[in-house]
Amino acid sequence: MPQHPVATPAAGGRRALRAPRAPRTVDVDVVVVGAGQAGLSTAYHLARTGLVAVGSRGWERARGTFVVLDANHRAGGAWQHRWRSLTMADAHHVHDLPGMPLAVADPAEPAADAVPYYFAQYEEAFGLNVQRPVRVERVDRAPDGDEPRFLVTTRHVDHPDAVVVWSARGIVNASGTWGKPFWPAYPGRGAFRGRQLHARDFRSAADLADGHVVVVGGGTSAVQLLLQVADVTTTTWVTRRPPAWVDEEFTPELGRDAVARVDDRVRAGLVPESVVSVTGLPLTPAYRAGIEAGVLRARPMFSRLVDDGVVWDPATTPGPTAAGPTTPGPTAAADARSGTAPGGWVPGPPFVEARTILWATGFRASLDHLAPLGLRSPGGGIVMDGTQVVAEPRLQLVGYGPSASTVGANRAGREAVRRLRRELRW
């Protein structure tokens, strides 16, 4: 990797140029990128096969080694960045990591505290020696040698001059999605004079209590945030597709069907679908109450933003004009009382004044560091066979596609290690 001169003080107050030290290169068998659920599960299974974590006593002399790289300053993956009001009771079920159960003493504890504490205990218990905070900048194929290898270039988050290149026989990428929030493009986004906030940066509903909030997005995060914000101010909910409420238990059969549908997409090299687009939204008692109150009644996506709000063109406004953005239609309360699953969009005025647009529009896989490998297919995704990248069998993606869930991530970590063992023959 080319090095750039660095200016340093010289005698007499002048500044001289010196070239920084060449990056240190460390040979390992496997690099794991990311220390969330999928990354830690992978590290556990790597250790079970006999590979030794970098930093362990005697690792330099071990027959096989691995390293886990994480850009965060502490354990916890993306969970440490979640909003404080997301408790363990409200969060999607956090599955146990292999070999150590998760004990939740207080369901009201913020997930941003409980899960990082659990992950930190896990790292220590199994001696995983996660290297942090280091950011993976790029992954390249090494020049031809005795065997194919990857060069993983990393930079210390707090000390940018500290560059290390890891020469690896195989990679398990578990970088997740938190680092790549998705901001959809809509006309007028630059003209809106109010606040625009992605769900990733949401901290407290009280921060948004100074005016009307338009919440954009049809997933679980949008619903949870909408209910919180509605306690402090008025809201409008807009979605790209009508909310898919599901009034039935999420059975293993439904779960397998959802995984199969996402798996079909990644095998074809398409961008993975969101979980909610496959499973729908569960009609919990809290969500039913929100529907009856008129809060969880969605309108279609607005046509454009203007300086003080959002506008729907006539073709995008269903039915007659409603009384207001959060006023329940007559079917909302009736559906909630009768126990039926409400569906479709509700009508509303062609213009809604807003102080805040809260974009709960999800995330995309954080894979920019893999761009030098040229893995993207014409369909926009990466052609996969389970966790294995078809074009690069020594590269495994966990937490991507069908394994983008806590239980899926655990299974994917085990599968990725099994496949790497076959490819690398250790």
Q: Answer whether residue 8 is part of any domain.
A: no
pLDDT value at 281 more than 80 = yes
- Domain extent, residue 132, equals 24-179+364-424
90 confidence band (pLDDT: 50, 70, 90): confident
Among the listed ranges 311-320, 330-339, 368-377, which one has the minimum average pLDDT value? 330-339
Q: Answer whether residue 185 is part of any domain.
A: no
Task: State which amino acid sits at residue 228.
Answer: Q
The domain spanning residue 162 has which CATH number?
3.50.50.60
373 confidence band (pLDDT: 50, 70, 90): very high
17 sits in the region (left: phi over 0; alpha: psi -120 to 50; else beta) called: beta
Beta-carbon contacts of 132 under 8 Å, excluding residues fewer than 6 positions away, are 35, 69, 70, 71, 72, 73, 74
Q: Answer whether residue 209 is part of any domain.
A: yes
Q: Which residues pair with 238 in a beta bridge?
A: 216, 299
* Same domain flag for 146 and 294: no
Residue pair 256/279 in contact (Cβ under 8 Å)? The answer is no
Q: Answer whether residue 188 is part of any domain.
A: no
Among the listed ranges 99-113, 119-133, 223-237, which one has the minimum average pLDDT value? 99-113
279 confidence band (pLDDT: 50, 70, 90): confident
pLDDT value for 62: 95
Alpha-carbon separation of residue 420 from 39, 74, 207, 380, 412 (angstroms): 14, 28, 47, 25, 12
Q: Which of 334, 359, 384 is the last residue of a domain?
A: 359
pLDDT value at 147 more than 90 = no
pLDDT value at 404 more than 80 = no
Measure the CA–CA gap between 175 and 353, rounded to whole angstroms: 38
pLDDT value for 65: 98
Centroid of chain to Cα 143 = 32
pLDDT digits (tens, 9 = 90+) for 39-73: 999 999 999 999 999 999 999 999 999 999 999 99
350 vs 282, higher pLDDT:
350
Rg of the chain, C-alpha, whole Å: 24
Measure the CA–CA gap between 67 and 362, rounded to whole angstroms: 29
Q: Answer whether residue 414 is part of any domain.
A: yes
42 vs 338, higher pLDDT:
42
* Same domain flag for 99 and 139: yes
* Same domain flag for 303 and 369: no
Structure tokens at 301: 């996506």
Sheet holding 304-306: strands in order across? 304-306, 309-311, 351-353
Beta-carbon contacts of 14 under 8 Å, excluding residues fewer than 6 positions away, are none
* Same domain flag for 219 and 206: yes
Q: Answer whether residue 18 is part of any domain.
A: no
Measure the CA–CA gap between 29 and 46, rounded to whole angstroms: 10
Closest of 70, 210, 213, 75 to residue 131, by C-alpha? 70
* Same domain flag for 101 and 233: no
Among the listed ranges 9-13, 164-168, 257-261, which one has the minimum average pLDDT value? 9-13
34 confidence band (pLDDT: 50, 70, 90): very high
Q: Are strands 24-33 and 6-9 parallel, antiparallel or unpaired?
A: unpaired
144 vs 175, higher pLDDT:
175
pLDDT value at 359 more than 90 = yes
pLDDT value at 380 more than 50 = yes
Percentage with pLDDT > 90 across the chain = 65
Percentage with pLDDT > 70 across the chain = 83
* Same domain flag for 143 and 289: no
Q: Which of 303, 327, 359 is the last residue of a domain?
A: 359
Measure the CA–CA gap between 55 and 242, rounded to whole angstroms: 51
Q: Answer whether residue 273 is part of any domain.
A: no
* Same domain flag for 317 and 218: yes
User: In sequence order, what E strands does 190-333 have?
Assistant: 195-198, 213-216, 235-239, 245-246, 281-282, 298-300, 304-306, 309-311
The total of structural domains in the chain comes to 2
For 198, other C-beta atoms within 10 Å of its C-beta total: 18
* Same domain flag for 171 and 235: no
Among the listed ranges 93-97, 256-260, 383-387, which one has the minimum average pLDDT value? 256-260
User: In sequence order, what E strands does 109-266 have?
Assistant: 134-141, 150-156, 163-173, 195-198, 213-216, 235-239, 245-246
Mean pLDDT, to the nearest integer, of 268-284? 76
* Same domain flag for 170 and 203: no
Q: Answer whether residue 126 is part of any domain.
A: yes
Q: Which of 311, 336, 359 is the last residue of a domain?
A: 359
Measure the CA–CA gap between 97 and 407, rounded to whole angstroms: 9
* Same domain flag for 354 and 377: no
Measure the CA–CA gap between 154 and 177, rounded to whole angstroms: 19
pLDDT value for 413: 93
50 sits in the region (left: phi over 0; alpha: psi -120 to 50; else beta) called: left
352: Cα within 13 Å, side-chain hemisphere: 32
* Same domain flag for 207 and 355: yes
Centroid of chain to Cα 371 = 18
pLDDT value at 92 more than 60 = yes
320 confidence band (pLDDT: 50, 70, 90): very low
Alpha-carbon separation of residue 312 from 193, 211, 233, 329, 361 (angstroms): 18, 20, 22, 19, 19
pLDDT value at 4 more than 60 = no
* Same domain flag for 73 and 122: yes
Residue pair 102/96 in contact (Cβ under 8 Å)? The answer is yes
Task: Return contacts of 52-59, CB within 8 angstroms, 24+ apart.
Answer: 53/127, 53/128, 53/129, 54/26, 54/28, 54/129, 54/131, 55/129, 55/131, 56/127, 56/129
pLDDT value at 170 more than 70 = yes
